[in-house]
A = this chain, B = another copy of it.
Amino acid sequence: MIQTHLIEINQLDIASLTHLLDRAEYWLHNTVISRQINSLLHGCVVANLFFEPSTRTQYSFTVAAERLGAIVLNPQLSHSSLVKGESLLDTARTFVAMGAEILVVRHSAPDIMEELVTYLGERTAIINAGAGSKQHPTQGLLDLLTIRQQKTLGPGLAVAVIGDVLHSRVARSLIDGLCCVGVNDIRVVAPEEWLPSAADLAIWQVVQPHAELRSALTGADVVVALRIQTERMQAADQVDKIAFYKTYGLTEQTLRYAKPDAMVLHPGPMIRGVEIASIVADGQQSYITEQVRCGVAARMAVLEWCHLPP
């Protein structure tokens, strides 16, 4: 068998993506909700190599792997041999030599995943848990899974994404996934400096940039508020948070532009009162908690998909 990796949503055709969503739905009902343990990965070592911190994603993978019976390693890489001058590739190679069959990697460099696949990928699965500002494929999967619990994924679905699309690997992976399943009404709305580049829009032909929240949300079935990733911005790109909330914040009032049964999503961590009003985040249309639950299921599906039987 050939080793499988998950590096970006775009590597998947609609059949593979649908298969992963089906398996995620299976795990959602058969382990996540029923709180059971499976032995699919018994004896398998999964190493979470988070060179950028992310409690949410790291522990979502941890729960997913533990529910499948794996041995999970969560080294603190900031305190590590990297400090002693070792290369990232050598750190990863060390975990493989210790027996890790699956590496779950988050790193600020966008091209690190391809390097890991090239040098280690023959018998080790590489799962991208967030790379630079480019890709975060398991987030894309969990967003699609969350939407699919309520709506039909495909033509006719209108999805609006609010905020810092340019710096967001979450937005990129979600949009790639929506395109893959045939969604053809995707709106992005943000201050001009955060809208996708002309090159991206040329690729995503179905993505419409908007300057105003009202037009972007009108008729939307799904509204995704993004996190403002100040840590990824240059000083020149910084935005006044109060001004942002006034113009682009997802509030009870602005949500009314969307369909009455529109789903509200946010990848977290949320900054309430900047990206989203608390009353919306905690309201009946919010599926933000459901996204986290679906995240565990989606990651179980990916771990299963990447696992080579002994």
- Is A98 an interface residue when CB atoms closer than 8 A count as contact? yes
- Is A268 an interface residue when CB atoms closer than 8 A count as contact? yes
- Is A157 an interface residue when CB atoms closer than 8 A count as contact? no
Given A84-B269, A269-B90; A289-B97 close (CB under 8 Å): yes
Residues of B contacting A268 in the complex (Cβ-Cβ under 8 angstroms)? 81, 86, 90, 94
Segment 38-82 of A: residues with Cβ below 8 Å from B: 42-45, 47, 53-56, 58-60, 62-63, 66-67, 71, 73, 75-82
In the bound complex, CA of A231 to CA of B81 (Å): 12
Residues of B contacting A271 in the complex (Cβ-Cβ under 8 angstroms)? 84-86
- Is A210 an interface residue when CB atoms closer than 8 A count as contact? no
Chain A residues with a Cβ closer than 8 Å to the other chain, count = 62
* Segment with Cβ contacts to B, from A3-11, A14-22, A29-37, A165-173: A29-37
Contact pattern, A 206-226, Cβ under 8 Å of B = 1, otherwise 0: 000000000000000000000
Contact pattern, A 278-310, Cβ under 8 Å of B = 1, otherwise 0: 000000000001111101100000000000001
Q: Is the interface of A mostly helix, strand, loop or mixed?
A: mixed
In the bound complex, CA of A59 to CA of B94 (Å): 10
- Contacting residue for A43 out of B36, B62, B291, CB 8 A: B36
Residues of B contacting A274 in the complex (Cβ-Cβ under 8 angstroms)? 85
- Is A91 an interface residue when CB atoms closer than 8 A count as contact? yes
- Contacting residue for A63 out of B54, B63, B98, CB 8 A: B98
- Is A87 an interface residue when CB atoms closer than 8 A count as contact? yes
Contact B32 A55 (CB under 8 A): no
- Is A106 an interface residue when CB atoms closer than 8 A count as contact? no
Residues of B contacting A35 in the complex (Cβ-Cβ under 8 angstroms)? 43-45, 99, 101, 310
Residues of B contacting A81 in the complex (Cβ-Cβ under 8 angstroms)? 54-56, 268-269
Residues of B contacting A99 in the complex (Cβ-Cβ under 8 angstroms)? 32, 35, 63, 67, 293, 296
Question: Looking at A42, A91, A270, which has the most chain B CB atoms within 10 Å of its CB?
Answer: A270
Question: Looking at A44, A81, A94, A295, which has the most chain B CB atoms within 10 Å of its CB?
Answer: A94
Contact B90 A77 (CB under 8 A): no
Contact A53 B79 (CB under 8 A): yes
Contact pattern, A 78-113, Cβ under 8 Å of B = 1, otherwise 0: 111111111100110111111101000000000000
Contact A71 B80 (CB under 8 A): no
Given A56-B81, A76-B76, A85-B269; A93-B36 close (CB under 8 Å): no
In the bound complex, CA of A310 to CA of B54 (Å): 30
Contact A98 B296 (CB under 8 A): yes
- Is A148 an interface residue when CB atoms closer than 8 A count as contact? no
- Contacting residue for A55 out of B66, B76, B97, B101, CB 8 A: B76
Q: List 6 extra interface pairs beyond A67-B71, A87-B272, CB under 8 A.
A: A35-B43, A35-B44, A59-B73, A93-B289, A94-B292, A97-B289
